[in-house]
Structure 1
C-alpha cells in the first residue's frame, strides 16, 4: 500500500518520477492506519474518502504549519518524495496506534469519532505526522500493509457535482489500501493547487468530497481537462506514468482546455 506518485505540473514536483533534487533529500512517509474490525469492516468507498479527508486534515492542521510541533516533519516530507503508506489495525492494535500523536477521521456521515460510529460500519482512519522511511514507530511498524481488501455492499451513488471528486482510473485494479493512498495523493494535489480562500472554504465543509471510479468512456476526457493528476511510478504491472487519479475540485474546473 506504499505509493510514490508523479505529476507533470512543476519541473521539480514531489510527485515526478524523474531523478531530481528531491531524491537527495532525506526520505519520509506519511503513515495512515485504517481500522478494520472483523465484525464491522468499513465499505471500500467510505474508507477511500476517509483516507483522503485524513490527509487534508493533517495538511490543514495548525500543528503542521509555521512553528507547529509537526511542521518540521511535514516540511521534510514534502521536500522529498511524497509517500503515503496505509496499514490496517483492529482491537488492541488500533488502541495502541491511537496513543501516538495524530488525527483520527471518521467517515460514513458520522459526526463524532466514536465506537458507536465504528460499530455502525463507518470508516476510521488515523493519520500521523511523517516519519523517516526506515524508522517507523514500533506501534505502527508491526501493522499489516499488504492484502487489505474492502467491498462496497452496494454501488456508490453518483457524486454530487457541487463537491470535489477524486476520480480513480477504471483501467487499474488496486487493493483498498493502495487505492486509499492514491485517494490521499489526489486530495493533496487538489489542496496544493487551491488558493488560500478556497482551502479555507473547503475546510469549513469538513473537507467534503467523493471518491469514485470513472466510467471508461469518461476517463480520457477527465485526463485531458488540465486538472491535477496523479501519475503513478510505483506500479510494476503498468507502464510508468500511467494516470491513476484526477482531482476534480469545483474551484479548478475552469482549467478545461488549458
Structure 2
C-alpha cells in the first residue's frame, strides 16, 4: 500500500484533459498549459457544474472529495472531433485547443478518450513568448528545478487553477472570473520570487514523472 494512501480515493476519479496536437502545426508548451488551466476553470464555473441543480454538479462534488487527479491526453485528426460530443468544455488559448471533461471514475473513461495516448506529449516552447495579459489574470509558474512533459505540466497548471478558484480571496476570484478567466504561464520571474507571490501551491501525488510531495506549480491572481 502506498504510504500516502487515502481511502477516499477508492475508487479513484479523475478529470480528463485532451489536447489537440496536430503533427503539422502543434501548439506551444506554454499555450497548452494556459489552455488547460483555463479549461478546468471554465468547466468548474459552468452552470452545469456550479449550480446546485446542474447536471455535472454531483460528479464534480464526488471528484473534489478525493485527491484531485487530472490526466492529459493528446488527440489529432479525426480523434479530436470525436471527443467533442462528450460532456465537457473546450477552450482555445493562443492557438492551443484543450477540452476538459466532466470528472468520472478512472475505470469508466469513455472509449473515445481511453484510446488516446497519455504519455509522450512534449511540445516545444514558444519561440516568441507572449507578454502577460491585462489584469486581472491568474499567474502560474512551474518549478524550474524539475523536468516534466507538456502533458504533465498541463495537468499541474490545471491543478493550480483549480486550487486558486477554490482558495483565493473572494474579491480576487470574482475579478478573475469577470476578466474572461485569463491565465499566464510566467517564465520571466525568478522561482523564489514567484513562491513569495503564490496563493496556492501544487504538491504532486507522485503517480507519474516526479516523486510524491514535489512542488510542481504555484499560482496567484494579478489585479
Q: Normalized against structure 2, the TM-score is what?
A: 0.88
Taking a change above 3 Å as real, the CA distance of residues 127 and 195 of structure 1, as seen in their structure-2 partners, is: same
Determine the structure 2 residue equivalent to 1:240: 212
Taking a change above 3 Å as real, the CA distance of residues 238 and 144 of structure 1, as seen in their structure-2 partners, is: closer
Q: CA deviation at 1:123?
A: 0.6
Determine the structure 1 residue equivalent to 2:22: 37
Structure 2 CA distance, aligned partners of 1:225 and 1:54? 23
When Rg is computed on C-alpha atoms for both structures, the one with the higher figure is 1
Taking a change above 3 Å as real, the CA distance of residues 136 and 179 of structure 1, as seen in their structure-2 partners, is: same
Q: Structure 1 residue 131 and structure 2 residue 104: aligned?
A: yes
Determine the structure 1 residue equivalent to 2:172: 198
Q: Normalized against structure 1, the TM-score is what?
A: 0.77
Alignment of 1:114-193 (within 5 A): 122-159=95-132, 162=135, 163-193=137-167
Determine the structure 2 residue equivalent to 1:115: none
Structure 2 CA distance, aligned partners of 1:235 and 1:212? 25
Aligned partners of 1:170 and 1:219 also within 8 Å: yes
Q: What SS class does the counterpart of residue 249 from structure 1 fall into? A: strand
Q: CA deviation at 1:237?
A: 6.3
Q: Structure 1 residue 71 and structure 2 residue 45: aligned?
A: no
- How many residue pairs match? The answer is 219
Q: CA deviation at 1:198?
A: 3.3
Structure 1 CA distance, aligned partners of 2:116 and 2:33? 19
Between stretches 26-35 and 221-230, larger displacement belongs to 221-230
Q: CA deviation at 1:225?
A: 5.2
Taking a change above 3 Å as real, the CA distance of residues 202 and 235 of structure 1, as seen in their structure-2 partners, is: same
Determine the structure 2 residue equivalent to 1:80: 66
Structure 1 CA distance, aligned partners of 2:49 and 2:40? 12
Determine the structure 2 residue equivalent to 1:56: 41
Q: CA deviation at 1:74?
A: 0.3
Alignment of 1:105-116 (within 5 A): 105-108=91-94
Give the superposed CA RMSD.
2.2
Aligned partners of 2:168 and 2:199 also within 8 Å: no
Where in structure 1 are there 5+ consecutive unaligned residues? 1-16, 109-121, 252-258
